[in-house]
Amino acid sequence: MELDPRTTAVVAVHCQGDIVGPTGAFADFFHQQVGERRIIDQIAALLAAAREAGAPVVYTRVAWKPDFSDLEVNSPLLGIVAQAGCLKDGSELAEIVEPLKPHGDDIVLTHQRVGAFADTDLDATLRDRGITTLLFAGVATNASVEGTARVASDLGYRTVIVEDACSAATPEAHEASINSLGLLAEITTVDEVRTALTEAVTGTPA
């Protein structure tokens, strides 16, 4: 795999306490696989490799006003948000978890739909920076990761899924999503990304 850090960004999807944390509203859905697949450590390693190479890091976080006046419940998933009363902007569990806390130069984009491109300036932000390749990681593979990645592909980005830095509610859901995304995106690993970025910076094999 070849990557140019100048035109490549890592997109960390929904690394928030309510979604990936042990006590969050979605812990019963996602936390077991987050733990078993070591997703926090894997994303941390991916972000470290990107920063070391000078590639931008983008966080997408989903959150709504405390009164949910901006929440449009048009899917079962968003119905769970309304029922649980979670992911309220300003609440601790709506923030990025501490081990993956954004650095000063990182981009943090808040959105209200399952995918991060809908009704946001994500596309314009990326194009302004000359980004043409997006590396996706986060939770859940078959929901917000896949939803955002599919739109990225339609918008013309080189779309890459870092498979071992993503998880879903079950291994089967994750695998099915990866198999589907393989038609639209490249599937890779944290180690392969790290190697490609190191080679791009040093000009020699890692």
Q: pLDDT per residue over 56-103, tens digit each?
A: 999 999 999 999 999 999 999 999 999 999 999 999 999 999 999 999
pLDDT band with cut points at 50, 70 and 90 for residue 205:
low
Burial class (CB in 10 A: 0-12, 13-18, 19+), 181: buried
Both tokens assigned to 150: 């599919």
**H runs (alpha helix) in the chain:** 17-20, 27-36, 39-53, 76-84, 122-128, 146-154, 171-181, 190-202
Helix 190-202 crosses helix 39-53 at what angle (to 10 degrees)? 10
**For 156-180, what is the mean pLDDT?**
98
Q: What is the pLDDT of residues 117-149, one digit of tens each?
A: 999 999 999 999 999 999 999 999 999 999 999
Task: Please state whether the peptide bond connecting residue 140 to the residue before it is cis, i.e. omega within 30 degrees of 0.
Answer: yes
Per-residue confidence (pLDDT) for residue 47, from 0 to 100: 98
Whether pLDDT at 206 is above 60:
no
For 131-185, give the DSSP string: --EEEEEEE-IIIIIHHHHHHHHHTT-EEEEEEEEEE-SSHHHHHHHHHHHTTTS
Per-residue confidence (pLDDT) for residue 203, from 0 to 100: 85
Q: What is the pLDDT of residues 11-63, one digit of tens each?
A: 999 999 999 999 999 999 999 999 999 999 999 999 999 999 999 999 999 99
Distance, CA of 130 to CA of 125 (rounded, Å): 9
Per-residue confidence (pLDDT) for residue 34, from 0 to 100: 98
Per-residue confidence (pLDDT) for residue 174, from 0 to 100: 98
Residues 74, 161, 60: CA angle, nearest 5 degrees:
50
